[in-house]
Amino acid sequence: MFDIIYLLEMIGIVAFAISGMIAARSKNMDPVGVFTIAFATALGGGTLRDLFMDNHPLYWIRHEEIPILILIMAVVYSYYRPLGKIRESNIVVPDAIGLGIFSILGAQLALDLGHSWFIASLLGVMTGTFGGMIRDTLCNEVPFIFRKDQVYASISFVGCWVYFVCNWLLESHAAALAIGLLFIVLTRLLAVRFDIRLQRDPHHH
């Protein structure tokens, strides 16, 4: 049986790892720094979720291939010159993909363990946002989640509820997954593209 959830997790991990590597590179970090930031970004949210839900062993300890993959990606990224030229503004797309995948899968895992929709949505937001928060903090940036000019955690939260409602209304779990995921990724990209904010800065023109 082809495991679509595992594939989505891998895509999310790779996307967040890439966003971490771009951020680390923009701060002129060495390969160890690039790996550390990539690892923390890709696995931070899931690790926190697993700890909160007492879900052991942790995901990346069960799946040893994941830290190995991130290590290989970090080494290639650090030493293959053309990749080093990727600009920090390119973080937005992989970050949005990671946010969408981890929010929905984090919420689903919480539902599988018997939690309510509300608790599952909070755990989904945590899984989706925490990796990026660690990345930005370690890179000495104000995390997206705390910035007035970024709609971030709220997109994750609403996306989890879109997923729950679609899952409840539709016969197809896969369709609900796709709708929730696309809602988060596209809404996040549109919010960045069109400068949509929850709160307007009076000094911002």
Q: What average pLDDT does the segment 19-46 reach? A: 92
pLDDT tens across 111-124, in order?
Answer: 998 999 999 999 99
Sequence-separated (6 or more) residues with CB below 8 Å from residue 124:
102, 103, 104, 105, 106, 107, 108, 110, 156, 157, 159, 160
Please name the residues in contact with 27: beta carbons below 8 A apart, sequence gap of 6 or more.
33, 139, 140
Of 185, 162, 188, 187, the closest CA to residue 175 belongs to 162
Report which of 171, 193, 67, 55 is spatially closest to residue 123, judged by C-alpha positions: 55
| Backbone torsions φ then ψ of 43, nearest 5 degrees | -115, -5
Sequence spans of domains, the chain:
4-193
**How far, in Å, CA of 23 to CA of 19, rounded?**
6
**Following DSSP, what letter does each residue of 32-69 receive, concatenated?**
HHHHHHHHHHHHHHHHHHHHHTT--S-HHHH-THHHHH
- pLDDT, tens digit, for every residue of 67-108? 999 999 999 988 887 666 666 667 889 999 999 999 999 999
Is residue 182 predicted with pLDDT exceeding 90? yes
| pLDDT of 202 over the 60 cut | no
For range 169-179, the mean pLDDT? 90
Answer for the pair 112, 106: CB distance below 8 angstroms, yes or no: no
